[in-house]
Amino acid sequence: DGGITQSPKYLFRKEGQNVTLSCEQNLNHDAMYWYRQDPGQGLRLIYYSQIVNDFQKGDIAEGYSVSREKKESFPLTVTSAQKNPTAFYLCASSIGTGPQYFGPGTRLTVL
C-alpha cells in the first residue's frame, strides 16, 4: 500500500445521500486516480488528476465528483446521481511515467 491511505475502510450510504471517500498520499506523487471495482471484475477509471487544481473524467465519471486542492489529497464524492454505487473503490498515485501504486480501498455499500 506504500504511502497511500484511504478512509474509511467500510462505508454505508443510504439512498439519496452523498458520501465522500478520502485518499491521501505522502509519496510526493503528482498524479492521482480513482477506480471502481465490482465483484470478480477488473478496475474501471472514474477520475484522474495529473496536477493540483486539474482533473479529468475517466470512463465512468457519471454520478461522481472530485477535487484536487492539495497535491497530497484527492477526495471522491459519490453523489445520489450514481444509481449503483455499491463497489470497492481504489485510489492510486504515480509520478512521471512510473507505475501506479494503490491504496487499501474503501468498500461502499448502499443500504
Partner 1 sequence: GESVGLHLPTLSVQEGDNSIINCAYSNSASDYFIWYKQESGKGPQFIIDIRSNMDKRQGQRVTVLLNKTVKHLSLQIAATQPGDSAVYFCAENVVQGAQKLVFGQGTRLTINP
Give the footprint of partner 1 on this chain (CB under 8 A).
Answer: 1, 4, 6, 31, 33, 40-45, 48, 50, 56, 58, 90, 92, 94, 97, 99-105, 107
Q: How far is the CB of 24 from partner 1 (least distance, A)?
A: 14
17: which DSSP letter?
-
C-alpha cell at 63: 454520478
CB of 30 to partner 1, least distance (A): 10
Residue 5, CA atoms < 13 Å, CB-side half-sphere: 6
Q: How many CB atoms sit inside 10 A of residue 51's CB?
A: 11
From CA 9, how far away is CA 42, in angstroms rounded?
A: 20
For residues 82 and 94, which CB has a smaller minimum distance to partner 1 in the complex?
Answer: 94
What's the min distance (Å) between Cβ of 49 and partner 1? 10
